[in-house]
Amino acid sequence: MITTAVFDTKPYDQEALLRAAAGPAIDWRFQEFRLTAETAPLAAGAQAVCLFVNDHADRACLAALAERGVRLVALRCTGFNNVDLDAARALKLVVTRVPVYSPYAVAEHAVALLLALNRKIHRAFNRVRELNFSLNGLVGFDLHGKTAGIFGTGKIGRIVAQILRGFGMRVLAYDPVPNPEWAGRHGVEYADVSSLAGFSDVLSLHVPLTPETRHLIRAETLEAMKPGAILINVSRGALIDTKALIQALKSGRLGGVALDVYEEEEGIFFEDLSGQVLQDDELARLLTFPNVLITSHQAFLTHEALSDIARTTVANLRALGEGTAFVEGSVLTC
């Protein structure tokens, strides 16, 4: 029996994990709070912890886990920028992630944001509910015939590119590891970063957050973008320099911005703060722009993605208990 402390648990996580783990092999300890160095001692007695994107597994936190007998840190997400892998290695902690889950969930959400923002569905919805049937200020543009720029042609970026090709868009892409065979098959053209910024009517980010990609979109990139262009980010908040983004929005050059992630989302996204005063001034400013659409890191939230995530996580927890191999491609440190 593997005792597993699951941090930052929401009802949908619990449901999916319990369904995937039907049977007695795992003793779950579901916690609603996030994992930090301060909360790590509460994992005492567990052999594994299960984390999500805003848990904070820095060196102090991992040391506290290792000291209390934890052997596996199982991330129930793809990105792992919130775990200090060097520290985990030094402490002999195994870290696993979910290498693949429905990329369609995330790609389709990126496109949903693009369509909603461009055609001002978020504003139209509110207007019509107030019996304001005016169309003033709701003009969008045809995607057909326009150019999209895709940063990152991994699992998610490729699907976004294919969907946008289906709309009749020209698709440019940038990836340090290009996939020419796929691009040829789908009529996607690889180009350099400045061409993507300069020619795209829609720019969408599908790259992991690393020291190299932090603030990939900053003042210079925003200045190089085509006036009126739409920027979409469903990857990680810190890919965009928020201060520079606010300046670009204030200048009126950007057509719109849709975000499913935010640089300082930890402690805000996934929580119901509707009865509180929002303390983050930059997020508060972003929410005032009529051409900004924000969702709270929900791109992964489909039944299919949740069950894929739960299946891989449970398989890795069982592998720890049985001493068998972890799911292929999921091991980050061992």
List contacts with ligand NAD (CB under 6 A).
78-79, 103, 106, 151-157, 174-177, 206-209, 212-213, 234-236, 260-261, 297, 299-300
Assigned token pair, 101: 């889950």
The reply to whether 265 belongs to the active site is yes
Could you tell me the CA-to-CA distances from 172 to 144, 148, 161, 213 in Å, in that order? 14, 6, 9, 19
Beta carbon nearer to ligand NAD, 26 or 191: 191
CB of 330 to ligand NAD, least distance (A): 13
Beta carbon nearer to ligand NAD, 66 or 261: 261
Beta carbon nearer to ligand NAD, 232 or 246: 232
**Identified catalytic residue from 109, 236, 263, 311:** 236
Beta carbon nearer to ligand NAD, 43 or 152: 152
| Residue 261, SS3 per DSSP | coil
- Interacting residues of 155 by C-beta distance below 8 A, sequence separation 6+: 100, 103
Q: Are 36 and 57 in contact (CB under 8 A)?
A: no
The Cα 164–Cα 160 span in angstroms is: 6
CB of 155 to ligand NAD, least distance (A): 4
Q: Are 56 and 35 in contact (CB under 8 A)?
A: yes
The reply to whether 328 belongs to the active site is no
The Cα 59–Cα 61 span in angstroms is: 5
Q: Which residue is nearest to ligand NAD (CB)?
A: 154
CB of 67 to ligand NAD, least distance (A): 30
Beta carbon nearer to ligand NAD, 87 or 191: 191
Adjacent-strand bridge partners of 258: 232, 293
Q: Which amino acid, one-letter code, is at 245?
A: L
CB of 79 to ligand NAD, least distance (A): 4
The reply to whether 311 belongs to the active site is no
CB of 279 to ligand NAD, least distance (A): 23
The Cα 51–Cα 34 span in angstroms is: 8
Residue listed under structure tokens 């597993």: 4
SS3 content of the chain, % helix, strand, coil (to 5): 35, 15, 45
Edge-to-edge order in the sheet of strand 94-96: 26-30, 2-6, 48-51, 72-75, 94-96, 331-333
Beta carbon nearer to ligand NAD, 141 or 270: 270
**Identified catalytic residue from 34, 76, 97, 297:** 297
CB of 260 to ligand NAD, least distance (A): 5
Adjacent-strand bridge partners of 147: 170
Residues labelled catalytic:
236, 265, 297
